Amino acid sequence: MGAKVVLVSITRTWSAKQQRALEILIRLKQLYPEAPCTLNYQTPVQLLVATILSAQCTDERVNKVTPALFSRFPDAAALASADLEELESLVRSTGFYRNKAKNIQAACRLIQTEFGAQVPKRMEQLLQLPGVKTANVVLAHAYGINVGVTVDTHVKRLSYRLGLTEHTDPIRIERDLMRLLPQPEWENWSIRLIYHGRAICKAQNPACQACKLAELCPSANLPQLNALTPSVATSSEERRLSPS
Ligand code: SF4
């Protein structure tokens, strides 16, 4: 059977697709029962700062920088009044460090003056803070509030390969996933798909033979798998993830 026929038969109705998405989610939970946020933090402010630093940078690199940063400047008040040059030197290795340091300080000043020294809990307020691009992550992990599905490069690639979206634009992908998955699972989905993308379904040479999702995946073992791999780093969302 040709690849296209498999894809069509497996996604022929929206409810079938929804059912399959739920089965994939159940398996992902079995595969990655503990799926904590990959950024290290102690407080909502520290998570917010870590997400600002993670733009165009790996979480591993951010986690190397934040212990010294949070030891020196542990909260919004300290970051708001930090010496900017010292702040820059502490975050330098995450790249774009001048913008990131400036944004962290400006965000913390706003938190102090406009939001009662607390990271706000509403999306539109969070997005007022300079440098904040991934408000979904902050709301879900800091407060347990699911307002959207985070679509990074792994979520984009895997959702496409799994036949849960036909789009390559993250905003449209997010819309599709929000229709398919129960709201309390939105961030669960993203974090577990990121784990799976790193471990098994890599951009190049995905390990379909070892993949526990293979029987639910229309792309499993396709020789032309790269044909079902959306291009990376060209979408509006991924541009939004660059530091401004
Ligand atoms: S079967 Fe292959 S393409 Fe599908 S999710 Fe698993 S590794 Fe990725």
At 35, the pLDDT band (50, 70, 90 cuts) reads: confident
Looking at residue 235, its pLDDT comes to 35
Q: Which CATH class is domain 149-241?
A: mainly alpha
- Residue length of the chain: 244
Percent of the chain exceeding pLDDT 70 equals 86
Output b/e per residue, 18-48; b: 16+ Cβ within 10 A: eebbeebbebbeebbeebebbbbbeebbbbb
Fold for the domain defined by 44-143 = Endonuclease III; domain 1 (1.10.340)
3-state secondary structure of 188: helix
Matching CATH topology for 44-143 and 149-241?
Answer: no
Q: Please report, for the chain, the start and end positions of each structural domain, with discontinuous segments joined by +.
A: 44-143, 149-241
pLDDT at 12 over 60: no
pLDDT tens readout for residues 95-124: 999 999 999 999 999 999 999 999 999 999
Summarize the confidence of residues 35-64 as an average pLDDT.
94
Looking at residue 232, its pLDDT comes to 44
Rounded Cα–Cα distance for residues 9 and 16 (Å): 10
Summarize the confidence of residues 185-201 as an average pLDDT.
94
Cα of 102 vs centre of ligand 1, distance in Å, is 40
- Catalytic residue, candidates 17, 100, 133, 156: 133
Residue 47 contacts residue 69 (beta carbons within 8 Å): no
Summarize the confidence of residues 83-94 as an average pLDDT.
98
* Residue 59 falls in the annotated catalytic set: no
Summarize the confidence of residues 171-191 as an average pLDDT.
94
Summarize the confidence of residues 194-204 as an average pLDDT.
94
pLDDT at 30 over 50: yes
**Mean confidence (pLDDT) of the chain:** 87
Ligand 1: which residue has its CA nearest to atom 2?
A: 208
Determine whether 110 is exposed, middle or buried from the number of CB atoms within 10 Å of its CB (0-12, 13-18, 19+): middle
The atom of ligand 1 lying closest to the CA of 228 is 3
Looking at residue 233, its pLDDT comes to 35
- Catalytic residue, candidates 17, 152, 156, 176: 152
pLDDT at 138 over 60: yes
* Residue 152 falls in the annotated catalytic set: yes
The atom of ligand 1 lying closest to the CA of 221 is 2
CA dihedral 198, 199, 201, 205 (to 10 degrees): 100
At 134, the pLDDT band (50, 70, 90 cuts) reads: confident
H helices present in 59-152, as ranges:
59-72, 76-80, 84-91, 97-114, 123-126, 135-143
Cα of 201 vs centre of ligand 1, distance in Å, is 5
Residues with CB under 6 A from ligand 1: 158, 161-162, 200-201, 206-208, 211, 213-214, 217, 219-220
pLDDT at 209 over 60: yes
